[in-house]
Structure formats: C-alpha cells, structure tokens
Amino acid sequence: MSTHTQILYQIIFSTWKRQNTLDKSNRKELYKYINGILNNKKCHLYRIGGISDHIHLITHIHPTITLASLVKDIELASTENIKSNNLFSNFSGWQSGYGAFTYSFKEKDTLIEYVKNQEAHHEIKTFKEELIDLLIEHGVKYEEKFLL
C-alpha cells in the first residue's frame, strides 16, 4: 500500500521581535517565493497571507517532510531572498518559534477565507491576541512571557 495523508496545517510565524517590516508592496513577491519552496518540497499551499509582522500558511505537508524542517527551510531561504532582493529594507529576520495547528480538511475553505482577510481581521485583534486565541482553541499550554 502506498502512503496517503491529508493533514491540513495552519502555520504562523512572525518577524523578529514582531517588527512591522513586511511592507504591503512586496508581500506578494515573498508569498510567491514561499510557494515555490513548498512546491519544491511537494507540499500543497492552499493560501498564504498576513500583515506587516507575521504570515499564515494553509498547507498540506508531504509525508516525507517534517514540520520543523519545513519551517526552518522557509525561514532560512526566505530571509536570504528578502535580503538579496531588498524586498523589505528593515527586515531583521524571523522570530524563533512558530505556531502550527492541524485542521480537518472540511475546514479548508473557512481557513482560506480567514487568511485571505488578515488585514481586516487585524484591525480588530492584535497578532498576540490572535495567537492566544489559537493556542486556547487548540488546547496548547503556553507561558505569557514567550509570546513577546
């Protein structure tokens, strides 16, 4: 029997110290680059989006890829791409750590809409509030001091 998986992930990571460095003008270029990384690793990106201090990925991860190595590869490669192409002049890198949550495939369309509407969503709620809500929703214990 061959391997079959359908694990839908929402992966979230933020800029270093949550600095507002991901200017809207070049985000699409960054998103295209990250999509290329995912394609090269045989992962399927359903949606990518975010605001100036963080991004969300809705993706399926190929069974041969570990979550930690995928995030590490995305962060390292995208940092290099950002710096070599001067996409975001004040970008200092990505924060260590990330959030990753799994969902039923039935929730895919809702997740896509959620990520698509990040700008409007963050007019109401900060990234920290959003992250705390996700941690609580998924039963993840956390310490406030690590949510800088």
User: pLDDT: is 37 or 137 the higher one?
Assistant: 37
132 pLDDT exceeds 70?
yes
- How confident is residue 79, by pLDDT bands cut at 50, 70 and 90? very high
Domains and CATH numbers, the chain: 8-146 (3.30.70.1290)
Give bridge partners of residue 61 from the DSSP assignment.
none
Give bridge partners of residue 55 from the DSSP assignment.
13, 50
* Residue 83 dihedral angles phi and psi, to the nearest 5°: -70, -45
Q: pLDDT tens, 91-114?
A: 999 999 999 999 999 999 999 999
- Alpha-carbon distance of 96 to 15, in angstroms, equals 9
Query: Residue 32 is encoded by which pair of tokens?
Result: 């295209």
What confidence score (pLDDT) does residue 103 get?
Answer: 96
Q: Nearest Cα to 130, choosing from 55, 72, 23, 61?
A: 55
> Among 35-39, 61-65, 92-96, 132-136, whose mean pLDDT is lowest?
132-136
User: Edge to edge, what strands does the sheet with 54-60 contain?
Assistant: 44-51, 54-60, 8-14, 99-103
pTM: 0.91
What confidence score (pLDDT) does residue 148 get?
Answer: 62
Angle (CA) 46-101-21 rounded to 5° is: 70
What confidence score (pLDDT) does residue 144 get?
Answer: 79
